[in-house]
Amino acid sequence: MKTFTYRTADDVSGGLEPGATFLAGGTNLVDLMKLGVATPDVLVDVTRLGLDQIGDLPGGGLRIGAGVRNSDLAADHRVRRDYPVLSQALLAGASGQLRNMATTAGNLLQRTRCRYFMDATMPCNKHAPGSGCPAREGDHRNLAILGASPSCVATHPSDMAVALAALDAEVRISGPAGERTVPVTELHRLPGDAPERDTVLEHGELITAVDLPPLDLAARSAYRKVRDRASYAFAVGSVAAALQVTDGTVRDVRLAFGAVAHKPWRAHRAEEALRGRPATRESFRAAADAELAAAEPLRDNAFKVTLIRNLVGSVLEGLS
Amino acid sequence: MDLVVNGTEHSVELDPRTTLLDALRDHLGLTGAKKGCDHGQCGACTVLLDGRRVNSCLILTVTLSESEITTIEGVDHPVQEKFLEHDGFQCGYCTPGQICSAVGMLDEAAKGWPSAVGDPELTDAEIRERMSGNLCRCGAYPNMVPAIREAAGR
């Protein structure tokens, strides 16, 4: 590991010297430092800023502090009651130990597990811009089918972020230029020709909280994840959904897909195709197809198109 | 810096890169926590930090202040006897991590924390899911599950 200096952050105003990065739970960053993929000069510890509370928002909804640990968030009774998809997504990720360490903001900002990104000796446009992308012709079974670019086919690995994307969550950000709020669906970027940038955050900007707006249909929501082993593995594909059905007709729906793109994939087209339609397996499959029509699978991951279509069908049937 | 491990305060001088696992093993002589993968994927390094189970290989020691660390050397819990009774190991390398993880997990379950399985009771499926962060290369899982089940009083 490259050497670094360590300090604790004094306040939430953000701001970082060049070469510095924020440290929270460390479950991904410390690992990437060991691998030589992350090489910060300075670590600024943000775990003592008091951002570890879950509070009620005045108009309904919840404010989740950026430093709330994944296990505490998954166990929160308000989350389990009003936003079960979020609790389920958190519990589908990582292990008990890691969830005790990992934070809300850290979960959002974790890096891809693409094997070429994780290997500092390999070319990768994400860790060494301009060096090329071996994944496109190489091992890409678990990489993107939507929104990829010639320079990067990585997927975002978070389960939690997929649920947050379905729930219209908003990310509160503090930085040298002041505060701003970004929908979680716009926090992560598509790779384009700058895959080294995962998110729209500027250097020195700090996530302070994630707001969950009140959303009645979220009380009827679920997360389903497919992976290569029964537990403790990243998703091969996942679906977060909330559904409201009246008299057999879809009144409202939220859908997001995981492990298919460089960002949690909010399925707006599928939602549009479903509103006002009969709540039947045929409608659910057709809605999934409307979203997946844009898929551009690689040589070895076309199975994800079928996988997501089937997942959408089974999750929505379970909720209807 | 000062570290409280198993109720004893230690003063250590460390490179900021030193993980908690390396501090315990190489600086304090507490070799119970094991280095398996060193990447948070196997659970052999599990210790309790303020009572919560964590992977000590992914914690930079410099970030710890006023935390109480409990390693397998400081654990005194019925699950240890149950592991002996049920022969919950073969080579034993993962065992300290399994025990520390089980102690933390039983506390989580007692607090009503949910798991991905969603059973109301601590069934065998619940135990397997909740312990999935601890790998055993010998495959001694079938004997660990009843050991943990009995330690939970079921």
Chain A residues close to B55, C-beta within 8 Å: 27, 97-98, 101
Assess whether pLDDT exceeds 80 at residue A122.
yes
Positive or negative, the CA dihedral B128, A241, A303, A259 is negative
Percent of chain B with pLDDT over 90: 97
Say if B101 is an interface residue toward chain A (CB within 8 Å): yes
* Domain of residue A250, residue span: 217-319
Assess whether pLDDT exceeds 80 at residue B141.
yes
What confidence category does residue A15 fall into, taking pLDDT thresholds of 50, 70 and 90?
confident
**Would residue A296 count as lying in a domain?**
yes
**Would residue A187 count as lying in a domain?**
no
Q: How many CB atoms are located within 10 Å of the residue B29 CB?
A: 8
Residue A192, min C-alpha distance to chain B (Å): 30
**Would residue A306 count as lying in a domain?**
yes
Q: How many CB atoms are located within 10 Å of the residue B151 CB?
A: 21
Q: Return the number of CB contacts < 8 Å for A and B.
A: 93
pLDDT for residue A61: 98
* Binary contact (B59, A45; C-beta < 8 A): no
Superfamily of domain B2-73 in the CATH hierarchy: Beta-grasp domain (3.10.20.30)
**Would residue A105 count as lying in a domain?**
no
- d(CA A181, CA A173) in angstroms, rounded, equals 6
Helix axes B95-110, B78-86, angle to 10 degrees: 130
**Would residue A268 count as lying in a domain?**
yes
Chain A residues close to B53, C-beta within 8 Å: 96-97, 100
Residue B107, min C-alpha distance to chain A (Å): 12
Q: What is the three-state SS of B2-49?
A: EEEECCEEEECCCCCCCEHHHHHHHHCCCCCCCCCCCCCCCCCCEEEE
Mean pLDDT of A197-223: 97
User: Residues B55-108: pLDDT tens digits?
Assistant: 999 999 999 988 999 999 999 999 999 999 999 999 999 999 999 999 999 999
Helix axes A281-292, A303-319, angle to 10 degrees: 140
User: Residues A144-203: pLDDT tens digits?
Assistant: 999 999 999 999 999 999 999 999 999 999 999 999 999 999 999 999 999 999 999 999
Residue A92 has its nearest CB partner, among B55, B60, B116, at B116
Half-sphere exposure (Cβ direction) of B6: Cα atoms closer than 13 Å: 14
Question: Residues 211 to 270 of A: which have CB under 8 A from any B CB?
Answer: 230-232
Number of domains present in the structure of chain A: 1
Mean pLDDT of A205-225: 98
- A72-88 CB burial, b ≥16 within 10 A, e <16: bbbbbeebeebbbbbbb
What confidence category does residue B42 fall into, taking pLDDT thresholds of 50, 70 and 90?
very high
Assess whether pLDDT exceeds 80 at residue A57.
yes
Helix axes B95-110, B141-151, angle to 10 degrees: 40
Chain A residues close to B115, C-beta within 8 Å: 91
* Binary contact (A97, B53; C-beta < 8 A): yes
- d(CA B85, CA B88) in angstroms, rounded, equals 8
User: Residues A221-260: pLDDT tens digits?
Assistant: 999 999 999 999 999 999 999 999 999 999 999 999 999 9
Residue A231 has its nearest CB partner, among B59, B111, B129, at B129
Q: Which of A69, A95, A98, A118 to mutate to test the interface with B (most CBs of B within 10 A)?
A: A95
The mean predicted confidence, pLDDT, of chain A is: 97
CATH of the domain at A235: 3.30.390.50
Start-to-end CA span in chain A (Å): 51
Nearest CA in chain B to A9: B63
Say if B124 is an interface residue toward chain A (CB within 8 Å): no
* Binary contact (A96, B105; C-beta < 8 A): yes
A320's tokens: 């209807």
* Binary contact (A27, B55; C-beta < 8 A): yes
* Binary contact (A91, B114; C-beta < 8 A): yes
Contacts of A8-12 with CB under 8 Å at 24 or more apart are A8/A44, A8/A45, A8/A46, A8/A48, A9/A44, A9/A45, A9/A46, A9/A48, A9/A49, A9/A206, A11/A49, A12/A49, A12/A51, A12/A174, A12/A206, A12/A208
Domain boundaries, chain B: 2-73, 78-151
- d(CA A279, CA A145) in angstroms, rounded, equals 27
Query: DSSP letters of A215-232?
Result: -GGGGSEEEEEEESSSSS
pLDDT for residue B154: 75
- A97-131 CB burial, b ≥16 within 10 A, e <16: bbbbbbbbbbbbbbbbbbbbbbeeebebbbbeeee
* Binary contact (A95, B58; C-beta < 8 A): no
Chain A residues close to B105, C-beta within 8 Å: 96
- Give the C-alpha distances (Å, rounded to integers) separating A56 from A65, A212, A215: 11, 9, 14
- d(CA B103, CA A41) in angstroms, rounded, equals 37
**Would residue A262 count as lying in a domain?**
yes
What confidence category does residue A13 fall into, taking pLDDT thresholds of 50, 70 and 90?
confident
Say if B46 is an interface residue toward chain A (CB within 8 Å): yes
What confidence category does residue A132 fall into, taking pLDDT thresholds of 50, 70 and 90?
very high
Chain A residues close to B42, C-beta within 8 Å: none
A227's tokens: 């992976």
Mean pLDDT of B4-31: 97
The fold of the B78-151 domain, in CATH, is: DNA polymerase; domain 1 (1.10.150)
